[in-house]
């Protein structure tokens, strides 16, 4: 998968804003940007060390590069339409249990999000496509429809166990995040 033309500022597939959180553990980096340089550009890298069954870590990236916490952005004014594609392609590695959440502008927080598991890769980079048809809400049986996909705010990568997560590319057909 060829990378997008890079932005002037560090980013992963034009995604520059990363809002990080850990509950019930620690993360590296402990604060600041999780973006780091590698030979081909920038990657998002985080290590979560989690303690207990309710612990988790999140790396939330607003699709319009306007973070609710980083920029004071109103999610309802930063809606992105992902309904033109059939899924999300990722180049990533993970050493533990992780998943991806699709977060809407109407409900950007609170846990009631569509999610799909990210298979652990033993730290080896892999490229996968997660079809929107495979995403489900907790306890739900229905994938997100176009009405949901047309109202997206962010993607949230969640570590549900101690893990090292690296993201090199995130591609959504029909939408490219702005560099501005």
Residue 67 is predicted with a pLDDT of: 87
Tell whether 111 is covered by a domain.
yes
The closest of 159, 155, 130, 156 to 143, measured between CA atoms, is 130
Count of domains observed in the chain: 1
Is the peptide bond between 29 and the residue preceding it cis, with omega within 30 degrees of 0? yes
Tell whether 34 is covered by a domain.
yes
Tell whether 32 is covered by a domain.
yes
Residue 154 is predicted with a pLDDT of: 96
- Strand-pair partners of 164: 47
Tell whether 94 is covered by a domain.
yes
* Average pLDDT estimate for 1-9: 86
What whole-number percentage of the chain has pLDDT above 70? 100
Task: Give yes or no for residue 105 having a pLDDT over 90.
Answer: yes
- Give the tokens for residue 157: 């990568």
Q: In which band, very low, low, confident or very high, does the pLDDT at 167 lie, cut at 50, 70 and 90? A: very high
Tell whether 7 is covered by a domain.
no
Domain of 57 in residue numbering reads as 19-171
* Average pLDDT estimate for 1-10: 87
Q: Is the dihedral of CA 11, 94, 106, 4 positive or negative?
A: positive
Tell whether 152 is covered by a domain.
yes
- pLDDT per residue as tens digits for the range 106-115: 988 877 799 9
- The CA-CA-CA angle for residues 46, 49, 52, to 5°, reads 140
Residue 131 is predicted with a pLDDT of: 98
Task: Give yes or no for residue 71 having a pLDDT over 90.
Answer: no
Tell whether 167 is covered by a domain.
yes
Kindly report the CATH number assigned to the domain that includes residue 157.
2.60.120.430
Tell whether 27 is covered by a domain.
yes
Give CA–CA dist 155/130, Å, rounded: 13
pTM for this predicted structure: 0.95
Residue 1 is predicted with a pLDDT of: 72
Give CA–CA dist 45/154, Å, rounded: 18
Give the CA count within 13 Å in the CB-facing half-sphere of 38.
13
Residue 48 is predicted with a pLDDT of: 97
The helix or strand, by DSSP H or E, that contains position 146, with its residue range, turns out to be helix 146-149
């Amino acid at each position: 998968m060829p990378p997008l033309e890079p932005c002037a500022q560090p980013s992963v597939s034009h995604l520059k804003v990363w809002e990080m959180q850990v509950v019930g553990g620690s993360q590296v980096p402990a604060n600041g940007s999780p973006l780091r340089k590698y030979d081909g550009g920038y990657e998002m890298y985080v290590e979560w060390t989690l303690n207990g069954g309710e612990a988790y870590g999140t790396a939330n990236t607003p699709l319009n590069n306007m973070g609710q916490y980083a920029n004071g952005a109103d999610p309802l004014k930063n809606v992105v339409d992902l309904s033109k594609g059939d899924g999300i392609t990722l180049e990533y590695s993970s050493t533990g249990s992780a998943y991806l959440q699709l977060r809407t502008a109407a409900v950007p927080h609170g846990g009631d999000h569509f999610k799909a598991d990210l298979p652990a890769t033993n730290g080896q980079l892999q490229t996968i496509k997660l079809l929107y048809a495979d995403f489900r809400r907790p306890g739900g049986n229905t994938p997100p429809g176009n009405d949901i996909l047309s109202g997206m705010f962010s993607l949230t990568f969640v570590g549900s166990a101690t893990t090292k997560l690296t993201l090199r590319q995130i591609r959504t057909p029909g939408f490219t995040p702005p560099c501005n």
